Chain A
């Protein structure tokens, strides 16, 4: 059994601050982090190994700096990690990204479950998991909230949809994307951190993973970003301060006017 986790390094956008004078986003010192949803995928891979045996592998596509999140995965207990990095991958949309990941996964080989977070915090598309499954020609189960059992060639799991859970059985290998409620991610151990420091993280370029040149990077990306801008925030409304009682009255009157009180 081999469990492969796909992780992404993302800018820590949630801490973004806007300079009140220039209205620009202050980027200074904003660190890159592991996509928060990917911790659940890493944790679930570790639990699969603990429950059913096997090995765990983490892969990431990105610049050389993305090695940091792979080392972090190793510190959490992942056995081996590979970084997919090449100028030729720049400008990849989700189709090219998922193709690149699929080529690396084929090279690693002998996999049973591929795990992804439900989406990445920066792009928030959630498309790479399902597209990856298509490139690998294996089933995909999105929004998995529980893994019930894994046998030689079958996965039993529970997935979340808008208003219900489904219990599913899938043949292996398969791709799953996981939601938060699947587990509680662990913290790295001291031993893990030492291991992560010493580990070698091989860097694979396009020539290492083969495949069709035209499906990589910008050439392999049907979508193109043509414009990017900062959204305008609606202008300020009425701001009221005062005694709690007055304030409650202001809200009450507003609710009354809106027909809610």
Chain B
């Protein structure tokens, strides 16, 4: 397939030049645009051209219809930490159940653990119908080669239609290798999923280009359809009562799994901050001007029981370590209250926090984009407003 500008229809309005996310459209001597080889065939220009002057030529090869009827079921990898399911497992169950409403297929969890029966029961209690369980001592611990082997073999044996995992560091490490081994498609870091009511295909929705654009992606000619889901992007499945489910136990030995990489030792990350679990987050940005001014942010956060976050600008300036970073390239958070202090609201930051329940933004610049997502926008100097606020909170505590 190729994309070309029909110069007869083109009026030279140059909208396409602006919309191209990769800057692949340039203007010729005649004032009309042409498409350079930077084009990645996203077709945004085709859609946006008001004259319909951008055309796709040499349609992509139509692949023969393959019969995928034997591929059934919505699977999700139930991630756990030290033998306890992570909240992301419930999020995946939640979105899987939503997909099952349209797709009418079984929702199945995949659990790798040293002892997984309780975890399976917890999934059943939230609406999961079946759990594929592989048990072995130390299997709670993530090992890339082992997890890839188990997942690949299970997929080959049972042929699920859809396989989901969380876009955590673990999911983002072993799921791509699994997909490559099976030679199927994988969409990273989705924020939503849906089933096309007609084709029954999985529609995978994700932000791209630093959160500037959203893309809908499908995997038409390969199975399973695989995706990783950004933590906190979808709702957790709720407990519905003590329910029965089917456990399909697979014998670990039958997989013949071997790990090429040896684990020598483990060490906890100092000062672990679980931003994604926090109900209140107070974040600082470029407006702080200096790392020591984060003390003010820390103080405010501690007074209201919040965690400390930061924008990329603050992290890149070395004012606060990377684990505090909120945004497209940091953590995605959805606290009850998010207070942005001296953060202008670059789209890359908004991508990581704009779904927070209540957003308070404090910024000197009334035109700062952060105010577009704020429930309460405070136009003021953080160095004047925050100390006053701290005073009020302290006096109330006394």
Question: Chain A: residues with CB nearer than 8 A to chain B?
Answer: 11, 13-14, 16, 19, 22, 24-28, 30, 32, 62-65, 85, 87, 90-91, 93-95, 98, 119, 121-131, 133-135, 139-143, 156, 160-171, 174, 179-181, 218-219, 221-231, 233-234, 236-242, 244-245, 247-252, 254-255, 258, 260-261
Contact = CB atoms under 8 A, between A and B. Distances in A.
Given A94-B186, A179-B322, 13 more contacts: A11-B22, A13-B210, A90-B37, A95-B183, A121-B210, A125-B176, A161-B169, A166-B266, A167-B267, A230-B214, A241-B378, A248-B388, A260-B304
A30 B25 CA distance: 12
Contacts of A234: 354, 372-373
Interface of A is mostly: mixed
B144 A140 contact: yes
Contacts, number: 309
Contact of B264 (A98, A127, A167): A167
A130 B177 contact: yes
From A229, A238, A260, name the one whose CB has the most chain B CB atoms within 10 angstroms: A260
A134 B177 contact: yes
Interface stretch (B41-49, B117-125, B156-164): B41-49
B266 A27 contact: no
B36 to A, nearest CB: 7
A64 B37 contact: yes
B179 A95 contact: yes
B188 A27 contact: no
Interface of B is mostly: mixed
Contacts of A166: 263-267
A127 B176 contact: yes
Contacts of A26: 18
A251 B373 contact: no
Contacts of B23: 11, 27, 30, 32
Given A163-B269, A163-B272, A166-B263, A125 B189 contact: yes
B67 to A, nearest CB: 17
A253 to B, nearest CB: 10
B187 A223 contact: yes
Given A11-B209, A162-B169, A239-B379, A248 B389 contact: yes
A30 B175 CA distance: 34
Contacts of B1: 91, 218
Contacts of B176: 94, 125-131, 134
Interface in B183-206: 183-189, 203-204
A135 B179 CA distance: 11
Given A228-B42, A258-B336, A236 B269 contact: no
B208 interface: yes
Given A142-B169, A226-B216, A226-B217, A240 B18 contact: no
Contact of A261 (B215, B220, B265, B304): B304
B346 interface: yes
A131 B180 contact: yes
B389 A24 contact: no
Contacts of A223: 185-187, 204, 217-219
Interface in B346-372: 346-348, 350, 354, 358-360, 362, 366, 369, 371-372
Contacts of B393: 252, 255, 261
B19 interface: yes
A82 B350 CA distance: 37
Contacts of B391: 248
